[in-house]
Amino acid sequence: MNQLRVNRVVELMKRDGLPCILVSATESVYYLTGRWISPGERMLALTITDRGDVRLFANRLFMQQAAPDLPLTEYDDTEDCVSVLADALPEHIGALGIDKRWPSHFLIRLMEKRPDIRMKLGSAPVDDARMCKDADELSAMRESSRLNDEVLKKLMSTVRAGETERQLAERYVEIARSMGAAGYSFKPLVCFGANCAEPHHDSDDTPLKEGDSIIFDVGLDLNHAMSDMTRTMFFGEATDEMKRVYELVRRANLAGKAAVKPGARLCDVDRAARRVIEEAGYGEYFIHRTGHGIGLEVHEPPDVSAACERPLEPGMIFSIEPGIYLSGKFGVRIEDLVTVTQDGCEVLNQLEIPSFAE
């Protein structure tokens, strides 16, 4: 059990007026207990009260062991797991904060068995605690990004005409695993030519040809620390338009990173990156948020968008990934992960971003 993290969650529960919460996401349970449990269709629940009492509920097949700081309630496949949980929850707790990831069929049954409890969305205390990484997490994220840099650099050196997007995406995974990664943090996105104008194009059998733009959006899982990075390159000679668009996106990426400092708002980071593209007349082609939080999951709070006014705090890690997408022609996206420091920003990716600026 990581008591410091539990204590932080308890303080945030008090902020939100939650006397008890139920944590069920594998990543959040791991964050608090150090135990990685993938429950599949079975119920997993970690309850925390505002007095700091913690209890784990898990199926016996996961072979968990109780500990002095982590009491355990087990059930097997012949028992009604929700009844086991309902009977163990304290009386007169009033409200129970429910993890946003808990399946509704468990929640509905718990509501029927404990009508005395007001069920509320209760993910914020854990989400907010996870948002600011501690020293161990920062170290793990740096290492994951460092390895991602190396893997992508190696992959980019192997690009050949006639290869397909799918072949390169599969090769990324092979290289990552050969260099020590557990796998990918999300399915690799490799796009050629006009497919680059689809921000989340699913890599297919399109072959690479001279003059294509190439987008690599890739990340790996290294000891549960997720990385994410995007680089755009051109196979052969880039057109003047390609160079112009690439330079705009590169400048937008730099502007977003320059805006990162404690006290600035996430929407300010989005505005800084977006302004560069809008002022050049390409605003309508930047069609997604500037970035997202990352850590144990590749997408987690905070949200780097115009709608998020949350101030930046040291330890936050998120992506800055502006893009321009010209339908039927090509697209450019450049993404780095950054962490907020005490006085500014640390960029976790070191893979060179070339420039066409004269």
Give the pLDDT confidence of 290-300 residue by residue, as tens digits.
999 999 999 99
**Whole-number pLDDT of residue 357:** 79
The answer, yes or no, to whether residue 358 has pLDDT greater than 70, is: no
Q: What are phi and psi of 214, to 5 degrees?
A: -135, 130
What span, in angstroms and rounded, lies between the C-alpha atoms of 24 and 39? 9
Quote the CA–CA distance of 6 and 32 in Å, as a whole number.
6
- State yes or no: pLDDT of 154 exceeds 90: yes
Q: Determine the straight-line distance between the first and last CA of the chain, rounded to whole angstroms.
A: 55
Which residue reads 């840099």 in tokens?
Answer: 149
Helix and strand totals (H; E) in the chain? 9, 19
pLDDT at 170 over 90: yes
For residue 356, what pLDDT band results from cuts at 50, 70 and 90?
A: confident
What pTM was estimated for this model as a whole?
Answer: 0.95
The answer, yes or no, to whether residue 73 has pLDDT greater than 90, is yes
